[in-house]
Amino acid sequence: MTTRVTSGLDPSTVLAEVDRLRAAGDRPTLALAFCGPDQDLDVLRAALVSRGMAVVGASTAGEIADASLTEDGIALLLLDAPEDAFSVWSDRRAEGETSATVAERLGRFAADRYADPVVITFGSGLTTDGEAVVNGVQAGAGRPVTLFGGLAGDNLRMVETRVASSSDVLTDGLVGLVLDGARIETQGLATSGWQPVGVEKTVTRSEGNVVFELDGESVLDVYGDTFGIEGLRDPEASIVMDIGVQFPLSIRRDDGTSVIRAPLFPAPGTGGLVFAGGVPEGGRVRFCVPPSLDIVERVVAQASALRDRTPAPDAVLLVACKARHTALGPIAEDEVEALYRLWGAPLVGYFSYGEIGAQHGGACDFHNETCSILTLRERV
């Protein structure tokens, strides 16, 4: 399977490169498209479809193309995948529907289409419950399926995000690229490098993604006292850059794995704290602190095990948390470059508002503060 990455800061530059590749003999059938919020994703979608490609993509909080990072640019992965080895799906969330209901439809579609489906999905970043997407796809499929993807971004403006399929662009919905696992081999890994510290606490009161109490105490007081942060009870407070980036929670799962949950903002009038994903009542959690300078080495060490399973992929997809990018600063570029050099294959992705993938030895899950990697290789 021939794969190409092309990127730029405007559609004309990117599409000119697409046309050059096609003139040279490339015949891509599929495009994964990621672009910043000021780019017109619908225009880009239509241009790629008019050139004979199916499209799946999302708006971003930063784009990744091979070893390069951009902000408010465009990153494309072009593939000449067999047209019967993939299917594109999209659906909007109707009024009153949950993210799980929409995701169940995607799961049923995937299971009906292929015996061994692999689901790559992107959801609207401000309206989609990522954990519900993971659970909904699995429930709809009726069996465990490999899942990868993330939530769309808008450069932390928190105004509007978009996801794209061949047929439309949605501001409140879900898109899916379903691969035939018998034709296209995938291997994935979700890794963060965040370090849990201190003793475990119990979530003594929560509802969905809103936490009210840890060990019987107000979650706002616990956060404020632990990290010396004031003003958390201000209903107008935006704490993503204060504690969301620096001090997320690590939730211990029953299978021994853990997921990271980043706090977003206080829940008005409730004394609760809204997280970017579900935090179960009764769950065991620890605070996390920003990673040390050896994070690149630790992430690459974990990714090397993935590389050993797929040493020569046709392409690599990477969805990484924007809050993590903010916390790492320039180290984020080192991390992307190291991952690119690990395989040397075309790599494309974006910075997101939530990531979907599987940790080593664990089931697929929804994550924050994580980078999720998926390798693709056509079976021969």
SS3 132: helix
User: Residue 253 and residue 365: Cα distance in Å, rounded?
Assistant: 10
User: Residue 220 and residue 142: Cα distance in Å, rounded?
Assistant: 39
User: Residue 326 and residue 95: Cα distance in Å, rounded?
Assistant: 34
183 shares its domain with 330: yes
54 shares its domain with 141: yes
Q: Which of 356, 293, 296 is nearest to 321 (CA)?
A: 356
144 shares its domain with 186: yes
161 shares its domain with 284: no
65 shares its domain with 185: yes
Q: Which residues of 162-182 are buried (b: 16+ CB within 10 A; e: fewer)?
A: bbbbbeebbbbbbbbbbbbbe
Eight-class DSSP state of 94: P
26-45 pLDDT per residue, tens: 999 999 999 999 999 999 99
User: Residue 110 and residue 352: Cα distance in Å, rounded?
Assistant: 24
User: Residue 281 and residue 202: Cα distance in Å, rounded?
Assistant: 8
Q: What is the pLDDT of residue 273?
A: 87
Q: Which of 271, 252, 268, 79 is nearest to 177 (CA)?
A: 79
If one counts the domains in the chain, the total is 2
pLDDT < 50 positions in the chain: none
Q: What is the pLDDT of residue 238?
A: 57
**What are 227's two structure tokens?**
């990290």
User: Residue 110 and residue 94: Cα distance in Å, rounded?
Assistant: 21
130-161 pLDDT per residue, tens: 999 999 999 999 999 999 999 999 998 889 99
Q: Are strands 173-180 and 86-92 parallel, antiparallel or unpaired?
A: antiparallel
Q: What is the pLDDT of residue 22?
A: 98
Q: At what angle do helices 331-343 and 295-309 cross, to 10 degrees?
A: 20
66 shares its domain with 163: yes
Eight-class DSSP state of 242: I
Among 273, 289, 305, which residue terminates a domain?
289
207-245 pLDDT per residue, tens: 988 999 999 999 989 988 888 877 676 655 555 556 667
40 shares its domain with 71: yes
SS3 124: coil
pTM over 0.75: yes
Q: What is the pLDDT of residue 371?
A: 93
Q: What is the pLDDT of residue 324?
A: 81
Domain residue limits at 237: 195-289
284 shares its domain with 304: no
82 shares its domain with 116: yes
Q: Determine contact, residues 91/102, Cβ cutoff 8 Å.
A: yes
Place of tokens 């849990």: 196
Which residues have C-beta within 8 Å of that of residue 284, sequence separation ≥ 6? Answer: 200, 201, 202, 203, 251, 252
